[in-house]
Structure 1
Amino acid sequence: MSRALLIVDVQNDFTEDGALAVAGGDAVAERITAFLAAHAAAYEVIIASRDWHDADGDNGGHFAEAPDFVDSWPVHCVAGTEGAEYDPLLATDTVTHHVRKGQGKPAYSMFEGVTDDGSSVAAVLTAAGVLSADVVGIATDHCVRASALDAIAHGVRVRVLTDLIAGVAPEPSEAALAELAHAGAELVESSAA
């Protein structure tokens, strides 16, 4: 049975001092790096996603000068900028596939993006025979939630490693985790992985 690790949006703009900073983002990057050092060999596929928005335009209404923080956001993770790069505390040397999402449009799930060679996440998982995936990253209440739900919809057994995620706010993060559990995800700490 093939396993995958899905690392969602551990980027400078989503960690401390970023355009959409999530408290604890740097700590999550460090913990994911430590987890990879100990467990990378347990995964046939390790996919890391990044928001990679166009510099021009509003990216399909995703960027706004007066954002509602539900459907529209301040400018963030613009392609080729420091904010769009992986947090430097995240080691990416064991990542097998890098995914960029949100070019010119809103995109929350890594399944909406493409790898460097133009493949979808679903195609990568299918080609590798992945039956189970562990999901980690930022932000619990947005892109982690969307990516995990899409993995479940793809037929993959999902575990969310709860000590390797960070959310924007406690209440929506708790609601997202409850939704994921109801959808069939297992919520565990990385020590159980």
Structure 2
Amino acid sequence: MTTRTALLIVDVQNDFTEGGALGVSGGDAVAAGVTVLLRDSGADYELIVASRDWHDADGDNDGHFATGEPDFVTNWPVHCVAGTAGAEYDPELDTAPLTHHVKKGQGAHGYSAFDGVTEDGTRLAELLVGVEQLDIVGLATDHCVRASGLDALDHVAEVRVLTDLIAGVGEDSSLAALDELVAKGATLV
């Protein structure tokens, strides 16, 4: 019996890579590295899902966008607004192999890919029914990768974070996020 596997690519978008509104150091390298993974091992995955922050253009998205100076904890500068260049995938990421696209953060904070839906309204948890192993890559380790990984552990038996294909905002907060994921049952690869 074969294990049903999936890959979750979290928020590899222009606003989260170098030069973006909330760009993290190493973001472009993650995008390029995920493309190599897809080229070399994409056939190993039955599902390849990518999430994107996709915030509404009108309004503050339930306080997600700061009205003054952002605190970078509960509110942020405007980023990943639906239909803008910042919300698009990083150009280093080859999107051709993707089987599903999940948009999150529509009218809300939406850190976890499990908060999002596909164009037809399917939730990520529904896509992953029957998946036994989920590999997670993407941005940012200490925010959306963390939240997506924690939620994944409630839906998939084996969750692996591919540590050479993630990048975070801060070193200490990223290490803490990885520790939290391991404590809940994820494996670092």
1:136 equivalent in alignment to 2:133: no
Decide whether aligned partners of structure 1 residues 34 and 155 sit closer, same or farther in structure 2, where only a CA change above 3 A counts: closer
Contact 2:128 2:156 in 1 (8 A): no
Partner of 1:5: 7
**Counterpart mapping for 1:93-132 below 5 A:** 93-126=96-129, 129-132=130-133
Query: Among 13, 19, 22, which residue is 1:20 paired with?
Result: 22
Q: In the aligned structure 2, how far is the partner of 1:2 from the partner of 1:44?
A: 7
Q: Deviations over 1:91-140 (max 9, x none)?
A: 011100000001111100000000121100000111xx201100000000
Pairwise CA distance, 1:13: 0.1
Structure 1 outlier segments of 4+, above 4 Å:
none
Deviation at 1:141, TM superposition (A): 0.1
Cα RMSD (Å): 0.6
Q: Please report the TM-score for the alignment, with normalisation by the length of structure 1.
A: 0.95
The DSSP-based 3-state class of the residue aligned with 2:97 is coil
Selected match of 2:93 from 90, 95, 100: 90
The equivalent residue for 2:59 is: 57
Whole-angstrom CA distance in 1 between matches of 2:46 and 2:156: 17
- Shift in Å, 1:154: 1.3
**What residue is the counterpart of 2:45 in the other structure?**
43
The runs of 5 or more residues in structure 1 that have no matched partner are 189-193
d(CA) in 2 for partners of 1:123 and 1:96? 14
Give TM-score scaled by structure 2 length: 0.97
Q: Structure 2: which 5+ residue stretches go unaligned?
A: none
| Per-residue deviation, 1:153 | 1.1
Q: Spell out, residue by residue over 1:39-94, the C-alpha distance to the aligned partner (whole angstroms, 9 max, x if none).
A: 00000001000000011110000000311101100000000000000000000111
2:158 equivalent to 1:157: yes
Whole-angstrom CA distance in 2 between matches of 1:6 and 1:148? 9
